[in-house]
Chains A and B, each alone.
Chain A
Amino acid sequence: MDFRLKQEHLMAQKLFREFAINEVEPIAQEIDENHRFPEETVAKMQQYGFLGIPFSKEVGGQGCDTLTYVLAIEEISKVCATTGVILSAHTSLGAAPIDVYGTPEQKEKFLRPLISGKKLGAFGLTEPGAGTDAAGQQTVAELDGNEYVLNGSKIFITNAGKADIYIIFAMTDKSQGTRGISAFIVEKGTPGFEFGHREIKMGIRGSATRELVFSDCRIPQENLLGQAGRGFGIAMGTLDGGRIGIAAQALGIAQGALDKTITYVKERKQFGRPISAFQNTQFTLADMATEVESARMLVYKAALAKDTQKRYSLEAAMAKLKASEVASYVTNKAVQLHGGYGFIQDYDVERMMRDAKITEIYEGTSEVMRMVISGSILN
């Protein structure tokens, strides 16, 4: 067992770190303050292939692995969790389901432009009445000739309005329960597909979070992703992968807050000494660093499991549960060690603490993670 990163992973980490520091960090505070989606950063990520990291070259991807993708999300989220989630939602939720479940034609038409072109992806499962209980889908899709007609709405959709291609779940047969849910690929601009309410959020404020509204939205039958009635399995399988992305985001937030705090406590002087000289500071930092490293081990392990195992739900759930709770714990302590300065906007830890909370909620709450984990170990 070797815990060292390979040379290619180390160099990829260096690339992502440079990119994050040069391109992402300088605007992190501003996009949070203005609730502004960083279009320019997305364009740069497209230019350098960041939007296709774990996909094979045959479909236009970079031919890297899940660990490389995790390193990208981690390094970017260290300085800006908003940019981290844009990349994670695009890759794991928008592009990955087409890669796994799509036909060769769908991959050519939708996946290739997503991972090597100028398109951004998103995923619509959550509804006002169907959050953790995702089976309670109210959006319907009826087959009419060779078209499906979508009606209903989705809420809290990351990248909504900014993305070009959406993976949408809808009931094709209500009598069948979860076996009546199907997955569809819907393009922005399709008549009857509109964007609704824009959410104002506690954190990751630069990311676009909006409602998707479908009113007699007609999409071609060939945009059905996978088989009819298999949508729930596609959603759950996709979320297993998404959780690794969010776990990496949470890990990045935690490491970023720890780094900022280490710098701060060496500079901040009280009672004639830097506060790093006090044992309370030292022991708190020791706990923070140990928690971050334990989260990292689970996140990297989940990334390796995704590439080598048939099923990795357990590893993904453990990684997300641990990393997201570590992100909240570490950012909270980071603010505490910054004292009053941690509570004001001038220091990044204020934003990081707000950003951390969502990682315990989206793509499955910590409670859902515990359900997945306990279900697996009691099985």
Chain B
Amino acid sequence: MNIVVCIKQVPDTNEVRIDPVKGTLIREGVPSIMNPDDKAGLEAALRIKDKNGAKVTVITMGPLQADEILREAFAMGADEAYLVTDRAFGGADTWATSSTLAAAISKLDYDLIITGRQAIDGDTAQVGPEIAEHLDLPNISYAQEIEIDGDEIVVLRQYDDCSHRVRAKLPALVTALSELNQPRYMTPGGIFDAYRSKEVIKWVRDDIPVEDENIGLSGSPTRVSKSFPKAVKEPGMKIEKSVDESVQFIVDKLKETYIL
């Protein structure tokens, strides 16, 4: 079985701020990490490999420094790694990104493609489903459980208030949630192998069978009108008291916050 996992290097948004004037991310000095949903996707692929045997290939589109997350994937247990990198691909929106990645993946053998649900720097959740469309594959988003059943995949798909168990014939594409699993750590020996004996294969513009009008900034129809920090929604609180005590509790809370 061949599994292709799409991963992306992103700034660690726990430590990133937005430029109040330009409305763009301040990336200077912010550490880069493997996007958490993608890492869960990679872990899911590695668990299928551990259980059923599989070849796990990771692919990313990005600048040369994205090499680091591919080495990290090697150190976790991935077998092959591709870095799609060229100035011609720069400035891509989700359309251009998915066009490029789908064309690159079309050169690989795959039974299953896993992407993260969304990247923490863009939060679009579009690239995975778009790749499925480009490659004419069934797509199951928001996977919180993945299981291989013969030549089919069974996915528990998360909704706000319920879950669906969905079955699809392979090949298929699944987008993974970070809640899917707890990704494994790298091993020290895996890290040494990743840098000393494994090779990241670089693909440039001419290696990818994709039309010019669908790549890079010029192939990107999206225009950003405004960027702003997301308002953090605090988790709710469950009160398990008698009715009278609960009322008193709520009144006290409202007074505490000067609403009453």
Q: Is A8 a contact partner of B191 (Cβ separation < 8 A)?
A: yes
Count how many chain B residues have C-beta atoms less than 8 Å from C-beta atoms of the other chain: 17
Q: Is B195 a contact partner of A64 (Cβ separation < 8 A)?
A: no
Contact of A15 among B68, B191, B195 (CB under 8 A): B191
Q: Is B75 a contact partner of A62 (Cβ separation < 8 A)?
A: no
Q: Give the distance to chain A from B196, nearest Cβ to Cβ, in Å.
A: 7
**Which residue of A has the minimal Cβ distance to B31?**
A14
Q: Is A62 a contact partner of B192 (Cβ separation < 8 A)?
A: yes
> What 0/1 pattern do residues 32 to 59 of A give for CB contact below 8 A with B?
0000000000000000111011000100
Residues of A within 8 A of B193 (CB): 63
**Which residue of A has the minimal Cβ distance to B195?**
A8
Q: Which of B169-228 contact A (CB under 8 A)?
A: 184-196
Q: Which of A254-276 contact B (CB under 8 A)?
A: none
Q: Which of A55-76 contact B (CB under 8 A)?
A: 57, 61-64, 68, 72
Q: Is B188 a contact partner of A15 (Cβ separation < 8 A)?
A: yes
Q: Is B196 a contact partner of A8 (Cβ separation < 8 A)?
A: yes
Residues of B within 8 A of A279 (CB): none
Answer yes or no: B72 CB below 8 A from chain A CBs: yes
Q: Is B187 a contact partner of A7 (Cβ separation < 8 A)?
A: no
How far is it, in angstroms, between the C-alpha of A66 and the C-alpha of B190 when the chains are bound?
Answer: 16
**Which residue of B has the minimal Cβ distance to A19?**
B185
How far is it, in angstroms, between the C-alpha of A372 and the C-alpha of B11 when the chains are bound?
Answer: 48
**Chain B residues proximal to chain A, CB less than 8 Å:** 68, 71-72, 75, 184-196
18 interchain pairs, CB-CB under 8 A: A7-B71, A8-B195, A8-B196, A11-B72, A11-B194, A12-B188, A15-B186, A15-B188, A19-B185, A48-B184, A48-B187, A49-B188, A49-B189, A50-B188, A63-B189, A63-B192, A64-B192, A72-B188
Residues of B within 8 A of A30 (CB): none
Contact of B188 among A7, A18, A68 (CB under 8 A): A68
Q: Is A61 a contact partner of B185 (Cβ separation < 8 A)?
A: no
Residues of B within 8 A of A11 (CB): 68, 71-72, 75, 186, 191, 194-195
Chain B CB within 10 Å, residue with most, of A8, A53, A61, A72? A8
Residues of A within 8 A of B75 (CB): 11, 15
Q: Give the distance to chain A from B183, nearest Cβ to Cβ, in Å.
A: 11
Q: Give the distance to chain B from A72, nearest Cβ to Cβ, in Å.
A: 7
Residues of A within 8 A of B192 (CB): 8, 12, 62-64, 68
**Which residue of B has the minimal Cβ distance to A9?**
B191
Decide if the interface of chain A is mainly helix, strand, loop or mixed: helix
Residues of B within 8 A of A19 (CB): 185
Q: Give the distance to chain A from B69, nearest Cβ to Cβ, in Å.
A: 10
How far is it, in angstroms, between the C-alpha of A239 and the C-alpha of B179 when the chains are bound?
Answer: 46
Residues of B within 8 A of A15 (CB): 75, 185-186, 188, 191
Question: Which A-B residue pairs are the 3 nearest by beta carbons?
Answer: A62-B189, A8-B195, A49-B187
**Given A12-B191, A49-B187, A49-B188, 5 other A-B contacts at CB below 8 A?**
A7-B68, A12-B192, A50-B188, A63-B193, A68-B188
Residues of A within 8 A of B72 (CB): 11
Q: Is A61 a contact partner of B189 (Cβ separation < 8 A)?
A: yes
Q: Is A18 a contact partner of B189 (Cβ separation < 8 A)?
A: no
How far is it, in angstroms, between the C-alpha of A11 and the C-alpha of B190 when the chains are bound?
Answer: 11
Q: Is B188 a contact partner of A53 (Cβ separation < 8 A)?
A: yes
How far is it, in angstroms, between the C-alpha of A11 and the C-alpha of B31 when the chains are bound?
Answer: 13
Residues of A within 8 A of B191 (CB): 8, 11-12, 15, 64
**Which residue of B has the minimal Cβ distance to A52?**
B189
Q: Which of A117-162 contact B (CB under 8 A)?
A: none
Chain A CB within 10 Å, residue with most, of B188, B189, B190, B196? B188
Residues of A within 8 A of B184 (CB): 48
Residues of A within 8 A of B187 (CB): 48-49, 62
Contact of A7 among B185, B189, B195 (CB under 8 A): B195
Q: Is B188 a contact partner of A57 (Cβ separation < 8 A)?
A: no
Residues of A within 8 A of B194 (CB): 8, 11
Chain A CB within 10 Å, residue with most, of B191, B194, B196? B191
Q: Is A57 a contact partner of B68 (Cβ separation < 8 A)?
A: no
How far is it, in angstroms, between the C-alpha of A52 and the C-alpha of B188 when the chains are bound?
Answer: 9
Q: Give the distance to chain A from B40, nearest Cβ to Cβ, in Å.
A: 15
How far is it, in angstroms, between the C-alpha of A279 and the C-alpha of B184 when the chains are bound?
Answer: 45
Q: Give the distance to chain A from B47, nearest Cβ to Cβ, in Å.
A: 15
How far is it, in angstroms, between the C-alpha of A19 and the C-alpha of B75 when the chains are bound?
Answer: 15
How far is it, in angstroms, between the C-alpha of A63 and the C-alpha of B75 when the chains are bound?
Answer: 13
How far is it, in angstroms, between the C-alpha of A155 and the C-alpha of B7 when the chains are bound?
Answer: 52
How far is it, in angstroms, between the C-alpha of A376 and the C-alpha of B260 when the chains are bound?
Answer: 77
Q: Give the distance to chain B from A239, nearest Cβ to Cβ, in Å.
A: 24
How far is it, in angstroms, between the C-alpha of A6 and the C-alpha of B71 when the chains are bound?
Answer: 14
Q: Is B189 a contact partner of A64 (Cβ separation < 8 A)?
A: yes
Residues of B within 8 A of A7 (CB): 68, 71, 195
Residues of A within 8 A of B185 (CB): 15, 18-19, 48
How far is it, in angstroms, between the C-alpha of A61 and the C-alpha of B190 when the chains are bound?
Answer: 11
Q: Give the distance to chain B from A8, nearest Cβ to Cβ, in Å.
A: 4
**Which residue of B has the minimal Cβ distance to A44?**
B185
